[in-house]
């Protein structure tokens, strides 16, 4: 069992500066498809290049696509992002659909994310508009003028009688009842 998930670096979400404020900018700069012309493990990659690559390149004019054939080594996708991140993705024995899926993921990503666990699903520069809550919000402004020591404020907030007091009350009442009964007799 791998323990790598236990030691992931926690972090907050990072977004390329102001992306999407005016317009959206694709963060993937170039992608290199490395493959072998003969080996079976590159077959999916070769199929992809033959059938889907042109469409992929047409759909993503912002991304530069390189092809790099090399003998007897497994297929690999290498992606480079605008922030300088490089992502290396082994594609041994992948089908062409799988390769398209991973390529689409790389296109929509903004950086090499693997290895950080995000702690919050929210980032803001203005955490509060109406002001954060303090113990003094929604309190009576009369408290500002109170002079201390103040008997009224020093009392416990729930002035209900305690169980102890209630028991004493009951006991007294019982006594009275007994007295009355005796008198009646």
What is the per-residue binding string for another protein in 118-137, x denoting contact by CB under 8 A?
Answer: x--xxxxxx--xxx------
Contact range with another protein by CB under 8 A, out of 13-21, 29-37, 44-52, 72-80: 13-21
By C-beta, is 70 or 92 nearer to another protein?
A: 92
Eight-class DSSP state of 77:
E
By C-beta, is 95 or 110 nearer to another protein?
A: 110
Question: 143-172: which residues touch another protein (CB under 8 A)?
Answer: 143, 152-153, 155, 157-159
Task: Tell me: does residue 105 bind another protein (CB under 8 A).
Answer: yes
Task: Tell me: does residue 71 bind another protein (CB under 8 A).
Answer: no
| 43-51 vs 96-108: helix crossing angle, rounded to 10 | 70
- Which conformational region is residue 115 in: left (phi greater than 0), alpha (psi within -120 to 50 degrees), or beta? left
* DSSP character string of 132-177: ---TTTT--GGGGG--SS-HHHHS-S--PPPHHHHHHHHHHHHHHH
Q: Is 9 helix (H, G, I), strand (E, B) or coil?
A: strand
Cβ–Cβ under 8 Å, residues 22 and 132: no
Task: Tell me: does residue 115 bind another protein (CB under 8 A).
Answer: yes
Instruction: Please give the Cα distance from 41 to 66 (Å, whole number).
Output: 19
Question: 27-56: which residues touch another protein (CB under 8 A)?
Answer: 27
Residue in 114, 147, 163, 181 binding another protein, rule: CB under 8 A? 114
Cβ–Cβ under 8 Å, residues 119 and 10: yes
* Site of interaction with another protein (CB under 8 A): 1-2, 4-5, 8, 13, 15, 19-21, 24, 26-27, 105, 107-110, 113-118, 121-126, 129-131, 139-140, 142-143, 152-153, 155, 157-159
């Amino acid at each position: 069992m791998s323990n790598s998930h236990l030691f992931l670096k926690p972090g907050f979400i990072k977004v390329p500066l102001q992306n999407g404020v005016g317009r959206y900018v694709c963060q993937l700069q170039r992608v290199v498809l490395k493959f072998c012309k003969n080996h079976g493990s590159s077959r999916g990659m070769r199929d992809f290049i033959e059938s889907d690559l042109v469409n992929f390149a047409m759909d993503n004019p912002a991304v530069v696509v390189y092809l790099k054939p090399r003998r007897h080594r497994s297929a690999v996708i290498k992606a480079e992002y605008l922030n300088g991140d490089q992502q290396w993705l082994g594609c041994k024995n992948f089908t062409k659909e799988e390769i398209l899926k991973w390529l689409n993921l790389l296109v929509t990503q903004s950086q090499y994310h693997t290895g950080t666990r995000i702690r919050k699903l929210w980032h803001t520069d203005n955490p509060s508009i109406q002001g954060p809550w303090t113990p003094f919000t929604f309190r009576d402004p009369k408290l500002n003028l109170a002079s201390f020591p103040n008997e009224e404020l020093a009392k416990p907030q729930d002035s209900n009688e305690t169980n102890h007091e209630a028991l004493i009350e009951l006991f007294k009442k019982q006594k009275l009842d007994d007295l009355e009964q005796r008198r009646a007799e």
